[in-house]
Chains A and B, each alone.
Chain A
Amino acid sequence: MDRIFKQSERNFLNPKTPHCHELCADCVGTEGRHGWPILEVRRNKELVMQQEIVNKTVLKISVPNDCRRNLFEFEFINKKPDDTVVEDGNIIADKQIIIKNFQLHNANFTQIERFTRYYPIWPEDFEHKPRSIQSSTLSFNGVMKFYYTNPPLEYFKKFKNQGYFDQPHIRKEIENNFEKTLTILQLHG
């Protein structure tokens, strides 16, 4: 639905009103001993998609305007301990998922680790086990969380306390422009 908009028209949408939009996730899956990885996507705890990630896969998630809060959980669910194939001490195959970027309103989150947290279920023999990490690669079963409120632009304009956005000329530049906001966030955040 959102694709019907031209960029200039999108500027007329009320930035303060939740609206239906699409969240796209560019994923790359790699095959392990027992096949391709499977990703489950939940929005506000509700399962919206379950998808095998075979090589490059684009997940398109329709986001309704029914509530402001959007907590997306991308859960890697089918990795087995022996999915990692090791020969002569080298890993020659492994089941994992890389989420390369998210797309919202045609703007790319190229550094998704800055906007997400990954909560892996660590193997028992791992020594260092932080509760969550910033990573776009899901190497173990576990959940990556991505949160924003709808409308996304309003949320990301306030994302962290940037201070940068408080400058009048920057504020003017980003008003109604999601792509610009995101670029600034990624460059200056």
Chain B
Amino acid sequence: MPPAAPAVLKGQVIKHGFSCSTADLNLDSKLLLTEKEFKDFFDFTTNNKEIDYTISEKVYNHWNEKLLKNNPTWVGLSVFSNDNIPLAMNFIPWFRNKNPNQKIIVGGNGTSEEEFCVEIRPYVDHVIRGEGELALIELLKGNIDYPGIDSAGEQIDDLDQLGYADYSDYNLAEYDRFYQEDVVQITGSRGCVRRCTFCDIASQWPKFRWRSGQHIFDEIKKTHQEKNVRHFYFTDSLINGNQKSYIQMCELLAEYNNTLEEKVTWGGQYIFRKKKSIPQDYFEITAKSGAFNLAVGVETGSDRVRDDMRKHFHNDDLDYFIENFSKYKITCSYLMQIGYPTETQKDFEETLALFQRHHPYVVDGTILGCTLGTTTSLLRKAPITTNKDDAIIVRDQGTVAEELYWTSATVAGLDFKERTRRRLVAQRVAESYGWSIISADRELRNLSNRIEEWTEFLNNQKEIS
């Protein structure tokens, strides 16, 4: 799927009278390299595997040419997530060395990592932290004291003031056709109404901020009419965080879809709520608005574990939602976690039972699949690890990635090895009922790498002792 950040920033920059062109360097490297080279490059960037020097040089030279093509005043690089930091730390110094006089800005979610900002600072002119739309405009105007420019950013309160995303530089046909047709991303809100214990989104966006349903609808309609794109994917942590705004958007889209032969569809992350809080026409209007493939954080089949996670819904709510999704033909996928620190064997088996119980919805096409992840990784800024008074895990000190390697302090024997076992069992059980495991190959490859690391760690421990 085309990345949203460059398009969102371009929309904002153009709105304020500057010129701008964007590029998706990920896609460029995929188009440039052979399948084998790309796999090596991917392993190099995400799994720290060694790579043939000629491959990285080939990619970097290509990117260099692409970035400087329009003789820009500024080059802005968006580091999407922590996973992209190793690549950014490799490429940006290379780019700086090649172009000592080029003005460079770096931004994106990767800049939420303090260490990265410190390390990258000598190679760039400015680091924009937090939400970049307003800070970038101020930087272009020369106001480098604006919050977020080389300092902690402030959350934008009014999202309706921002420009619409501009995908005009993208050749959408070059992306994998997940929906068989062009699809673009859109942002309806930032932050989250929940404070799930495993999630660090609140460290980035402490407050939940949303656009009005009308504003979101206007962007969808404009993009549909101008770019002939009818599929939209929300980048939000949850689409239906603000019920009022959500229902307004759905009503406008349902009305618009009524006038179209080929309907607009939208998908993204979505939360199930207590069934008593759901208005009467909720599912019907959601279906008519074009809801498609909603990614729902179901997480577990155990109410007890879900309570521990502070998800605020139970299996009877889940059953109510999925039954209505089935009735109104709203498709979805489940985001699952295996081996949460308080997950006992009984809880785990309740998750296995969920795969069994919701099998009919897989068969009727309501559930398109689920993610199982690699094994539960606990982020450093997530509430579960910041609440020191009530620590429920012990990190395996000395491992390469301590987010991944930890042992439960409340469930005996729940360590990385046991979580790996449960993860594999969960996949086998889910697949036996026809569940499609999203990104299973990639996750199992990651798991294989992690097991290697873990074994090496254990061997080192033995040597030390």
Contact = CB atoms under 8 A, between A and B. Distances in A.
A5 B359 contact: no
A187 interface: no
Interface in B243-264: none
A14 B142 CA distance: 64
Interface string A78-104: 000000000000000000000000000
B429 A9 contact: yes
Contacts of A9: 348-349, 352, 425, 429
A4 B345 CA distance: 14
Of the four ranges (under 10, 10 to 19, 20 to 34, 35 or more), the interface on chain A belongs to: 10 to 19
Contact of B428 (A6, A8, A19): A19
Interface in A28-47: none
B425 A8 contact: no
A12 B356 contact: yes
A131 B432 CA distance: 40
A151 to B, nearest CB: 9
A17 interface: yes
A149 to B, nearest CB: 15
A13 B429 contact: yes
Nearest to B355: A12
Interface residues of B, number: 17
Nearest to B352: A12
Main secondary structure of the interface of B (DSSP, over half): helix
A5 B432 contact: no
Contacts of A4: 421, 424-425, 428
A31 B394 CA distance: 56
Given A8-B349, A9-B352, A12-B355, A19 B432 contact: yes
A129 to B, nearest CB: 45
Contacts of A8: 345, 349
B433 interface: yes
B447 interface: no
A17 B425 contact: no
A14 B356 contact: yes
B432 A13 contact: yes
Contacts of A1: 424, 428
A28 to B, nearest CB: 33
Nearest to A9: B425
A1 B425 CA distance: 9
A8 B353 CA distance: 11
A20 to B, nearest CB: 8
Interface-central residue, B345, B424, B432, B433, by most chain A CB under 10 Å: B432
A17 B348 CA distance: 21
A4 B353 CA distance: 18
B433 A5 contact: no
A4 B422 CA distance: 8
Contacts of B345: 6, 8
Contacts of B424: 1, 4
Interface in B425-440: 425, 428-429, 431-434
A5 B425 contact: yes
A189 B429 CA distance: 30
A5 B429 CA distance: 10
B425 A14 contact: no
B349 A14 contact: no
A12 B349 contact: yes
Contacts of A6: 345, 425
A5 B422 CA distance: 8
Contacts of A17: 431-434
Interface string B215-255: 00000000000000000000000000000000000000000
Contacts of A13: 428-429, 432
A102 B431 CA distance: 27
A17 B430 CA distance: 11
Interface string B336-371: 000000000100110011011001000000000000
Interface string B198-227: 000000000000000000000000000000
A14 B432 contact: yes
Given A4-B421, A4-B425, A9-B425, A14 B352 contact: no
Given A5-B425, A9-B352, A12-B349, 18 more contacts: A1-B424, A4-B421, A4-B428, A6-B425, A8-B345, A9-B349, A12-B353, A12-B429, A13-B429, A13-B432, A14-B356, A14-B429, A14-B432, A14-B433, A17-B431, A17-B432, A17-B434, A19-B432
5 contacts: A1-B428, A5-B425, A9-B349, A9-B425, A19-B432
8 closest cross-chain pairs (CB), A and B: A14-B432, A12-B352, A17-B432, A13-B432, A14-B433, A12-B429, A4-B421, A4-B424
Interface of A: 1, 4-6, 8-9, 12-14, 17, 19
